[in-house]
């Protein structure tokens, strides 16, 4: 087997035992890239394999292995464009904290993966470059916004990758691409160096081939950072140790609001079978209620667009990225014209839609009616989870109501696209950790994801349950036939 098909922990062990060579790993990755990237288009631009080959594999936690980064995570000296024309040509002048931690733990940066522009999307179709395709079916989307990261791992073009999750942007593509994706607790992983979408919702997390790799990568990037005002200063456990704990007697809640009309029957069947498997392993289940779930999508698209409108105001052609109308050097009509032309030509349709929505809900006369009210309902959503977690250790749900849909199927229907994240949004609103892992395939061969939700900073329990399920099924070993 080519080395690029192995997991990170398998490769680290092979390197330690001298059964694998670091140069051969990168050579196999490059060969795979050349073979499948023209079909999948997982990367925003070709990786630097020459640079990736210069790594020291011995004596470091991540074995010197290459890691792919979503195109909104800064790495010193590299293009970081958020797959947007408005940031065209922007070279990051520093490393994000997660990149710094990766390098300290022995990893090297492989390259930047494609994404929905500024993370605005659930399908990886709003990128200014091209849509990324699902390795399991090239006519389908990989999910979004971290679609490139998920697709690169699923297609074995990368060993592992980082994405960002604002409303499901790690977990939903993980589900649609048949890989493992973790959205950590808000504040567990530093956001310093992540180009912001919605600052109270964004979180960086790992996308990997199995649960052990995911825990290993989160070990490397988690921890307090005084450069991120929202970072939480509490100890980080060794997530690898949590994998071996027993799940017998673990109390799992099944929210009735998540099993509703509109869910694909094959998705529901796969989730029910996963519940049966976990019951046979000793987990205990009970039906619970999260009554404010029905408001989550509306609340999310008020809060997220409001924060996006504020965050994206900085992209005006002055400091970085695209500048249209070069003559505008002084304040006055020419400067205003430059702002308008730069933003008009730099942002794509979905980015403009969200900026307009966000500006509207923050505007005078509408702030109290929309934004202020949404914040109150957000608190109610969090309180729903708090109540359930007083009697349950974890919550189990589908990750996505459907498997991957066709490219172009929902681009003309924004509401239908927004509903793709109906099972993932609440987690971000409540600041909780959650993980998606493979739990089945449809009759058409498309992956189905199981979502495990935990208490704040309860990643250990999530990994424990996910690992026991994974090790007693074969879904994580399935590969797309590219």
Tokens (6 digits) for 58: 């011995």
| pLDDT of amino acid 133 | 98
Query: Of the listed 145, 175, 242, 420, which one is catalytic?
Result: 145
* Element (DSSP H or E) covering residue 308: helix 296-311
Query: Which alpha helices (DSSP H) does 364-475 contain, by range?
Result: 373-389, 414-418, 425-430, 459-471
**Which residue of the set 22, 169, 242, 400 is catalytic?**
169
The pLDDT tens digits of the residues spanning 156-200 come to 999 999 999 999 999 999 999 999 999 999 999 999 999 999 999
pLDDT digits (tens, 9 = 90+) for 142-155: 999 999 999 999 99
**Domains (ranges, CATH) in the chain?**
3-252+396-477 (3.90.1300.10), 294-376 (no CATH)
Decide if 169 is catalytic. yes
Predicted local distance difference test score (pLDDT) of residue 265: 95
Q: Is 289 a catalytic residue?
A: no
- pLDDT, mean of each 10-residue run, the chain (482 residues): 94 91 92 98 93 69 93 97 97 98 94 98 97 98 98 98 98 98 98 98 98 98 98 97 95 94 92 98 97 96 97 92 71 79 94 96 92 97 98 98 95 79 96 98 98 98 98 97 90
Q: Are 106 and 63 in contact (CB under 8 A)?
A: yes
Question: How confident is the model at residue 243, as a pLDDT?
Answer: 97
Helices (H) and strands (E) in the chain, counts: 16, 10
**Dmax of the chain from CA atoms?**
71
Residue 163 in contact with residue 150, Cβ under 8 Å?
yes
Catalytic residue chosen out of the listed positions 22, 41, 57, 70: 70
Task: Mark whether 309 is an active-site residue.
Answer: no
d(CA 52, CA 54): 5
């Amino acid at each position: 087997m080519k080395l690029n098909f192995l997991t990170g922990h398998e490769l680290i062990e092979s390197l330690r035992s001298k059964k694998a060579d670091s140069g051969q790993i990168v050579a196999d990755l490059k060969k795979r890239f050349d073979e499948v990237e023209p079909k999948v288009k997982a990367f925003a631009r070709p990786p630097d394999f020459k640079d990736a080959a210069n790594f020291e594999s011995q004596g470091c936690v991540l074995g010197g292995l290459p890691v792919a980064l979503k195109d909104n995570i800064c790495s010193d000296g590299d293009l970081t464009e958020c797959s947007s024309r408005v940031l065209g040509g922007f070279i990051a002048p520093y490393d994000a904290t997660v990149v710094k931690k990766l390098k300290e733990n022995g990893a090297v940066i492989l390259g930047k993966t494609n994404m929905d522009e500024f993370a605005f999307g659930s399908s990886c179709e709003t990128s200014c470059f091209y849509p990324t395709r699902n390795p399991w079916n090239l006519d389908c989307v990989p999910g979004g916004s971290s679609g490139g990261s998920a697709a690169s791992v699923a297609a074995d073009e990368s060993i592992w990758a980082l994405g960002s999750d604002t409303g499901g942007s790690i977990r939903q593509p993980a589900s649609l691409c048949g890989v493992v994706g973790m959205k950590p607790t808000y504040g567990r992983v530093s956001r310093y160096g992540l180009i912001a979408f919605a600052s109270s919702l964004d979180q960086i997390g790992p996308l990997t081939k199995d649960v052990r790799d995911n825990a290993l990568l989160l070990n490397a990037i988690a921890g307090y950072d005084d450069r991120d005002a929202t970072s939480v200063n509490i100890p980080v456990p060794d997530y690898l140790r949590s994998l071996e704990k027993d799940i017998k007697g673990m109390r799992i809640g099944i929210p009735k609001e998540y099993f509703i009309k509109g869910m694909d029957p094959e998705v529901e069947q796969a989730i029910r079978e996963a519940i049966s498997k976990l019951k046979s392993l000793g987990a205990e289940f009970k039906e619970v209620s999260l009554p404010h779930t029905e408001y989550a999508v509306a609340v999310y698209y008020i809060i997220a667009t409001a924060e996006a409108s504020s965050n994206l105001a900085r992209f005006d052609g002055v400091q970085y990225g695209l500048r249209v109308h070069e003559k505008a050097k002084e304040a006055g009509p020419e400067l205003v014209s430059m702002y308008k032309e730069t933003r008009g030509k730099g942002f794509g349709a979905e980015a403009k839609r969200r900026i307009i929505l966000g500006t509207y809900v923050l505007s005078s006369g509408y702030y109290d009616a929309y934004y202020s009210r949404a914040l109150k309902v957000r608190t109610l959503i969090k309180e729903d989870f708090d109540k359930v977690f007083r009697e349950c250790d974890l919550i189990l749900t589908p990750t996505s109501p459907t498997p991957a849909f066709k490219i172009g199927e929902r681009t003309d229907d924004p509401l239908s696209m927004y509903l793709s994240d109906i099972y993932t949004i609440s987690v971000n609103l409540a600041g909780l950790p959650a993980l998606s892992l493979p739990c089945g395939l449809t009759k058409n061969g498309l992956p189905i994801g199981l979502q495990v939700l935990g208490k704040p900073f309860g990643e250990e329990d999530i990994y424990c349950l996910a690992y026991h399920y994974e090790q007693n099924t074969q879904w994580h070993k399935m590969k797309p036939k590219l």
